[in-house]
Amino acid sequence: MLAIRETGAEIVSLAPGEDNFGSGDDLGSWVTTLVKQNANAEKSKTVKTQTFRGVSQICENRAHHGPLPKFWETEGERYRKQAYCADPGKVADIYERVAKRESLSSIGRIYDMYPKGIKHLIRFSPNHTGVEECSYTDDIHGKLEWTHTVTPVVDSPLWWRANKVLDANLTDARGNKGGRPVAKPANWISGILDCPSCGGKLYVNDSLTPAGNPRTPKLRCSGTGKRRLSCGEFKGIDAQPVIDRISRIFTSATKTKILAFQRVTGNAHELEELKAGLRKIQARLSATEDDDALDALVAERKQVKARIDGFEIVPDTFDYAPTGQTVAERWNDGDDAEKRRFARAIKNAWGMILAERGGEWVITFMADKSAETRGAGDIVDLGDGLCFPRPAE
């Protein structure tokens, strides 16, 4: 307090209702404040000691202590709480969904959870190890560490697969790159084609006239990047013929199969699963006191270690396998975002451009099927491991 005073600052109480007494900078207020500070420090010490006594008991009982994810609950009396998964079916389902790269927000809608809560649940290692590592630290008593045994919910390979998806940030939600929300979804052709004059992007302008009548949708240049300014050279064309022309490419591809990128050989993932299994055994070793169970675990660890040591890695190879869906089916069922994905894919693969031919604007492709460009654009990559071969037009 002297140090504070030396800087020229005043010591003022922030507590309400102390405007008249004990809040000024006089000696009486000083004493009052000192006593209060001291009492606070004492109280915090007492609370810490009492908490530590409780936690020591929990530690001795090897009971649960700490935060739990959703679907996990505790039962039993104070200092002897047993943690358990209240709904293993739902937890296993969430693991499966994340492992299959379903987006966290769509899983969240099913289970009324936030993405953060789903991540917490997936990362919670007792789900596969059956061992919760508990600890408590304070500055007076130091650190306590103990293990609490629970019933595991999923097997190690599934736990590992789901966590790997989170680590790699691979869930389907990645499709949404953010940006401001739009009041009205734009047509899928918006922002796909380049302006023939300036190289900016063409957007559909189909707003209402000032009189409230619908306009004929037009494709107009809106420039590049943040400076959404039209170049003024490309005067705009009717959007519908362009939309029809591009749609026809997909709707007519009734025999072109959508293929999915799949692993056909390779076992490196099995090695990772074995290693996850080893971590589970190690976690259980620290939590087991029964001699027979310990022997069994040591034997199991030996076995898994031997399998890891003797593991021969077959390199991963990938190939495309049919998904059972055709380009036309997927296009027709697809929403605006999906159609945009198709349009963008053929633009990238075949160099789709808007060009003037004999006074008319047409859609044309730079990668034709002539000899020198054979191979280019033969496979259209839709992203997310999906593709299709170039259909015969």
Residue whose CB is less far from Zn ion, 33 or 205: 205
Residue whose CB is less far from Zn ion, 107 or 363: 363
Cα separation, 190 vs 315, in Å, equals 42
| CB 87 to Zn ion: min, Å | 56
Query: Which residues form the interface with Zn ion (CB under 5 A)?
Result: 195, 197-198, 200, 221, 231, 234
Residue whose CB is less far from Zn ion, 126 or 200: 200
Question: What is the DSSP secondary structure assignment for residue 154, as one 8-state letter?
Answer: S
Residue whose CB is less far from Zn ion, 68 or 219: 219
Alpha helix ranges (H) inside the chain: 2-6, 27-60, 88-99, 104-111, 115-123, 126-129, 156-167, 239-251, 268-285, 291-309, 327-333, 336-350
CB under 8 A, 24+ apart: contacts of 314-319: 314/265, 314/266, 314/267, 314/268, 315/265, 315/266, 315/268, 316/263, 316/265, 316/266, 316/268, 317/263, 317/264, 317/265, 317/266, 318/261, 318/262, 318/263, 318/264, 319/261, 319/262, 319/264
| Residue 41 zone, left/alpha/beta (φ > 0; ψ -120 to 50; rest) | alpha
Residue 155 phi, psi (nearest 5): -85, 165
| CB 207 to Zn ion: min, Å | 19
| CB 70 to Zn ion: min, Å | 51
Residue whose CB is less far from Zn ion, 198 or 376: 198
Residue owning tokens 């898994």: 304
Show the tokens assigned to 203. 């957007």
| CB 219 to Zn ion: min, Å | 11
| CB 354 to Zn ion: min, Å | 11
Convert 247-276 to b/e letters by CB count within 10 Å (16 or more is b). bebbeebeebbbbbeeeeeeeeeeeebbeb
Residue whose CB is less far from Zn ion, 197 or 262: 197
| CB 220 to Zn ion: min, Å | 9
| CB 233 to Zn ion: min, Å | 6
Residue whose CB is less far from Zn ion, 138 or 194: 194
Residue type, 378: D
| CB 217 to Zn ion: min, Å | 18
Residue whose CB is less far from Zn ion, 298 or 362: 362
Residue 176 phi, psi (nearest 5): -85, 110
